[in-house]
Amino acid sequence: DSGVTQTPKHLITATGQRVTLRCSPRSGDLSVYWYQQSLDQGLQFLIQYYNGEERAKGNILERFSAQQFPDLHSELNLSSLELGDSALYFCASSDSGRLNNEQFFGPGTRLTVL
Amino acid sequence: AQSVTQPDIHITVSEGASLELRCNYSYGATPYLFWYVQSPGQGLQLLLKYFSGDTLVQGIKGFEAEFKRSQSSFNLRKPSVHWSDAAEYFCAVGAGGTSYGKLTFGQGTILTVHP
C-alpha cells in the first residue's frame, strides 16, 4: 500500500459525459501527479501540482482539467468524453515535487467510456 | 524532448534464471533514470533510480541497473528470477532538472516466469 488513495476504482460512462477522478496523496506529500495509461499511448504524464499550484503540464487535452485543493487532495475532471479516453488513470504523490523525490503511485481509476 | 525505448515487449524466463531488461533513453542533459514495476491490478512501485555518482545502482527485491552514458542505456538486471517477479516493468526518464517531477515512460516490458 503506497498510501495514495484514488476513487472510484472503476467508472463506466457514456460518450459526451463528464467525470471526476479523486486522489488523496500520502500524508505530508505536497505534490500530486496525474498519469494516463492506455493500450495505444502507454503511460503518459498529464499534469503536476505542488501545494495547490500547477507545476508542470504534459499531454493533457483541453477537455481535461485538474486542481489541487487546500487539503492537498486533487481532482482530475474529464469532459466531453470520447471512446479513446478509456484508460487507467493514476495519481502519484511526492513530498517536494522534485525529481529526486520518489513518486508513490495509487492503484488507479479504470475509466471505460461506452 | 526526452524519450524512452524498451525494445522488448515481452520476455519469458525460467525461475532461477538471470534477467536483463533493456532500456534506452534520449535526453539532452544528464538524465534522471528510474525503473518501476507494475503487478496486475496494482499501481507502480519504484525499483531503483539513478541521478548521479556510481553507475551501478542497487534497488529493492534484488534488482540492479547500470547506467551507460556512451550507450544511452539503463538496463535492469537480476541474477536469479523468482516467480513473484512476473509483472510489467517500466523504465522512465525524468525531465526538468530538480524543479519538477515530470516522468516520461517507456512502453513497458512484460515479464513471464516459468516454473
Residues A31-59 have a mean pLDDT of 92
Cβ contact, residue pair B100, A4, below 8 Å: no
Q: What is the pLDDT of residue B97?
A: 57
For chain A, what is the mean pLDDT? 94
* Residues 5-34 (B) with a CB less than 8 A from some CB of A: 32
pLDDT at residue B79 is higher than 90: yes
Taking one residue from A and the other from B, the number of pairs with CB-CB distance under 8 angstroms is 68
Measure in Å the smallest separation between the Cα of A77 and chain B Cα atoms: 20
Q: B56 is written with which cell numbers?
A: 551501478
Displacement of CA B36 from its chain's centroid (Å): 6
Give B8: exposed, middle or buried? Use CB within 10 Å, 0-12, 13-18, 19+.
Answer: middle
Most confident of the following: A19-23, A46-50, B28-32:
A19-23
Greatest distance between any 2 Cα atoms in chain A: 40
Percent of chain A residues past pLDDT 70, beyond the cut: 100
3-state secondary structure of B85: helix
pLDDT tens for each residue of B14-73: 999 999 999 999 887 778 899 999 998 888 999 999 988 889 999 999 999 999 999 999
Measure in Å the smallest separation between the Cα of B112 and chain A Cα atoms: 19
Q: Where are the alpha helices (DSSP H) in chain B?
A: none
Closest Cβ opposite residue A45 in set B32, B41, B102: B102
Closest Cβ opposite residue A45 in set B41, B90, B103: B103
Cβ contact, residue pair B105, A2, below 8 Å: no
Q: In sequence order, what are the residues at sequence separation of 6 or more whose Cβ sits closer than 8 angstroms to the Cβ of residue A24?
A: A4, A5, A6, A72, A73
Taking the alpha carbons at both ends of chain B, their separation in whole angstroms is 41
